[in-house]
């Protein structure tokens, strides 16, 4: 198996206007920085983006918003982005807000061949409007459908040409479930290694879920909330 493509532009081949994309990451942690930059360059518009967040004004999916490439966002939390707010209030951007756990499970279900599932999350709230309600063990649940995407853009720490991936720290987040749910999944990694270098016992995403892989470059890894504690003084 050799799924390696030369760079981010080659990786995005086939992405056209009005497609649905999943984009991994939580906040700015574990986002596919190179693929997002390439999408800006590619200039495709009318995109539906499924991503937990929408980046910040000048980084992450915020770059696509600035460029007016996104028609609809499907997210759980979108609070850190003024351009997002402007487009949403102006009616330029459709937004579908989904409880975070339901979003993750809908992606997982999409990749796992489960068309829908019942969850208690959102019962009795506006999230439940128009959805089937069913009691299990005396507790009401709502029916949520699976999500899939034309392309999933994900980011891992290390990967090999078979598409096997491992993630680092909490940069894992939505990446593994979105890898499963993309019809074509494009993985960018910080380090491309030879097959066999990754211990099969510790693979997070098996290569079967990945169609294209490339080594990214110039990772900025921007931190949204830099919080530190004071060094204890030496006495």
139-145 vs 116-119, strand pairing mode:
antiparallel
- Show the tokens assigned to 108: 């997982």
Please give the angle made by the CA atoms of 10, 12 and 17, to the nearest 5 degrees.
135
Which string of b and e fits 100-135 if b means at least 16 CB within 10 Å? bebbbbbbbbbbeeeeebbbebbeeeebbeeeeeee
- C-beta separation of 215 from 189 below 8 A: yes
What is the closest distance, in whole angstroms, from the C-beta atom of residue 206 to another protein in the complex?
A: 13
Q: Name the strand (E) or helix (H) holding 101.
A: helix 100-112
For another protein, the closer of residues 97 and 203 by Cβ is 97
Q: How many CA atoms lie within 13 A of 46 on its CB side?
A: 5
Among 43, 228, 234, 235, the residue binding another protein under the rule CB under 8 A is 228
Stretch 68-107 residues interacting with another protein (CB under 8 A) = 75-79, 85, 89, 95, 97, 99-105, 107
Map the footprint of another protein across residues 135-154, applying CB under 8 A.
Answer: none
State the nearest-atom distance from the C-beta of 174 to another protein, in Å: 5
Query: What per-residue string of b and e applies to 143-166 under the rule 16 or more CB within 10 Å gives b?
Result: ebebbbbbbbbbbbbbbbebbbbb
Task: Please identify, using beta-carbon distances, which residue of 7 and 77 lies nearer to another protein.
Answer: 77
Which two three-digit tokens encode residue 171?
């940069």
Report the residue number, 130 or 196, with the smaller CB distance to another protein.
130
- CB nearer to another protein: pick between 12 and 34: 34
- Residues in 160-179 that interact with another protein by CB under 8 A: 168-177
Q: Are 8 and 158 in contact (CB under 8 A)?
A: no
Site string for another protein, 186-225 (x = CB under 8 A): ------------------x----------------xxxxx
Q: Does residue 59 touch another protein according to CB under 8 A?
A: no
Selected range binding another protein among 11-19, 28-36, 37-45, 63-71, rule: CB under 8 A: 28-36
Tell me how far, at minimum, the Cβ of 26 lies from another protein, in Å.
5
Q: Which residues bind another protein (CB under 8 A)?
A: 26-30, 52, 75-79, 85, 89, 95, 97, 99-105, 107-108, 119-127, 157, 168-177, 204, 221-231
């Amino acid at each position: 198996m050799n799924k390696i493509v030369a760079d981010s532009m080659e990786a995005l081949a086939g992405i056209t206007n009005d497609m649905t994309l999943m984009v991994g990451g939580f906040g700015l942690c574990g986002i596919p920085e190179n693929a997002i930059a390439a999408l800006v360059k590619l200039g495709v518009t009318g995109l539906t983006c499924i991503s937990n967040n929408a980046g910040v004004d000048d980084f992450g999916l915020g770059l696509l918003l600035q460029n007016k490439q996104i028609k609809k966002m499907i997210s759980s939390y979108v609070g850190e982005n003024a351009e997002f707010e402007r487009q949403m209030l102006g009616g330029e951007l459709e937004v579908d807000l989904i409880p975070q756990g339901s979003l993750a499970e809908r992606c997982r279900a999409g990749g796992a061949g489960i068309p829908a599932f019942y969850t208690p999350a959102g019962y009795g709230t506006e999230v439940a409007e128009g959805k089937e309600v069913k009691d299990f063990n005396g507790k009401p649940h709502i029916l949520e459908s699976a999500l899939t995407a034309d392309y999933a853009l994900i980011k891992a720490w290390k990967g090999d040409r078979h598409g096997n991936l491992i993630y680092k720290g909490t940069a894992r987040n939505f990446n593994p479930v979105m890898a499963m749910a993309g019809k074509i999944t494009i993985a960018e990694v910080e380090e491309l290694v030879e097959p066999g270098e990754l211990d099969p016992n510790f693979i997070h995403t098996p290569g079967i879920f990945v169609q294209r892989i490339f080594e990214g470059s110039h990772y900025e890894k921007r931190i949204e909330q830099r919080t530190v504690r004071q060094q204890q003084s030496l006495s």
